[in-house]
Amino acid sequence: MVVDDGSPDGTADVVENIAKGELVGRIFVLRRKEKSGLGAAYLAGFAWGIERGYETLIEMDADGSHRPEDLVNLIKVSRANPGFDLIIGSRWVKGGAVRNWAKSRELLSRAANKYAKFMLKVGVNDVTAGFRVYKTSIIERIDFSTVLSQGYCFQIEMTRKVLSLKGTIKEVPITFIEREYGISKMNMKIVIEAMLRVTLWGLLPNSKNTNGG
């Protein structure tokens, strides 16, 4: 299922054409009228999946950065470990890797994840990862109205929500490949949001925003 967050490039039309014929009922598009942030798009996707009774909800990028073979492995790991509420496809564990990234971006990602791990006291090495397999049962327990992040900080906040509900997390190595086409949504506003929220959560661990639901 592709969440199209008001994209002007015709993505929704392309996907809907692909979904015709034999793929009817297997590929879906959720059209949103305007861009309201990465976090809001993910939450809309979660709500769509919950409403239709799926047992697992999977996040992955649609720009080719997340490999299909890693998706197959993440699903296998999830099925083989039913006790885990969240499986994270991790770049920063043994066996994980990134390709075609500038060294400066790799250093930024590594530093951001180490900072978040230290400030939030979470045992997750790639807390900003967007390649994830959630048990729907844990997502259903989260009050979406308390999820405030809109940029990539959304992944950090969701990790905290899962842990606050005593959920269990497992990291699985993946290879992340930088997109060949398109433009990254990463900008200074997103970086600042993440830094401010992580610092606030770390200094005020019992603030209202930490509640799971």
CATH numbers and ranges of domains, the chain: 54-210 (3.90.550.10)
Q: Give the pair of three-digit tokens for residue 160.
A: 């905290």
Between 34-38, 71-75, 96-100, 205-209, the lowest mean confidence (pLDDT) is in 205-209
pLDDT of residue 183: 62
Residues in Cβ contact with 147 at an 8 Å cutoff, skipping those fewer than 6 apart: 39, 43, 154, 157, 158, 161
Q: Which of 139, 136, 143, 120 is nearest to 194 (CA)?
A: 120
Q: Which of 177, 179, 175, 178 is nearest to 92 (CA)?
A: 175
pLDDT of 45-73, one tens digit each? Answer: 999 999 999 999 999 998 899 999 999 99
Between 8-22, 30-44, 69-83, 171-185, the lowest mean confidence (pLDDT) is in 171-185
Could you tell me the pTM of the whole model?
0.89
pLDDT category at 95 given cuts 50, 70, 90 is: very high
pLDDT of residue 29: 93
In the predicted structure, residue 140 carries a pLDDT above the cut 50: yes
